[in-house]
Structure 1
Amino acid sequence: MTAASPDGIVPDSKDWTWTLQRACPDCGFEAGTVPADDLAGLIVALTAPWAGVLAGDGAARRPDAATWSPLEYGCHVRDVCRLFDERTRLVLEEDDPTFANWDQDETAVAQGYGEQDPAVVAHEVDAAADAWSRTVADVPDDAWERPATRSNGSRFDLLGLVRYGLHDLAHHLQDVGAARR
């Protein structure tokens, strides 16, 4: 088991790439079956509930010391959208790029996720999702098989990369008890 970070959260060190091969038993999302034509719309649909989640009473309150608050999850979803937009663009611009490591737990501490304004974060989630969605909507049909590599050596094509990001969005709605639309 990995030790807790200074904020009490036990870092997630799992490799979630298996969610491209089968449904996630926790959230039920089947990332590997999403058609390319549905990706852009699902980015928006899977982030739409965050405005309501972040407007709720206690959005900044953790359910327990070792679990992120809805606000912290919202910040993470915003940053996932930003990161995957950047990575989508990188795959389109470079031949077989390798992505730098992104430590989500380190980012949460460094950016003070729990101290951010929920209303601002809700707006930022929408903006980041919209940007990534527009990037994905503009992917040419012949670019979905373009390859890339994560810092841990996991290989993706662009279709798999976007599907992988969608699972993250779906899964975190489950984490905060919000319904997927």
Structure 2
Amino acid sequence: MKKGRLEAFTDAILAIILTIMILEFKTPESFQFSAIYSQIPYLISYAIGYLFIGVAWYNHHYMFAKTRWISRRVYWANNMWLFTTSFVPVATAWVGRGLNEQGPEIFYFIVFASWTAAYFFLSYQLVKANEKDHQPKAAAAIRSMVIYRYIANWKLDLLQGIVTVVALVYVPALQMVIVVLMIVFIGARFNKDSDHLID
């Protein structure tokens, strides 16, 4: 399968997801600047969601730029990843209405955990596709990504899960801090050659 079609489809879906997220922002009825204060929790949640998807897109582009051949498994893994990503606007909107409430934060945790599993499955399938296509350097490049190595380490995953559950029990809003730390220190640590990709 030509990867260009799958990349274009993915870009379109992610653009729609980002658009839906900003549409959840409610324009204040009042013309007083203070009227925006009620929207601050959603703005925080939206900013985190936007950063989340932006970093994910960059990593996705890197993996696909390294890959020449798309298998059926990669196609379906990509669809599964997009499916989990499509829940981000719902989780973002709900957390925006209750930044320190357990219900929305638990749902966000479920979405984030599902997204993480789907992302790893997609990455793994891309590694396998590159190995099958006799592209060991591409497979090694994907394996060397910080986010891939982190998610592949079940001990770190378990530790993060325990810390998040404790946060959800006592201070639910701390989960969003954990997500931001994950995005900045794990997801946004790109491979050095990511600035020199041709595709």
TM-score of the superposition, structure 2-length normalised? 0.28
Higher helix share: 2
TM-score (norm 1): 0.30
Q: Which of the two has higher C-alpha Rg?
A: 2
Q: Which has the higher contact order (CA 8 A, sep 6+)?
A: 1
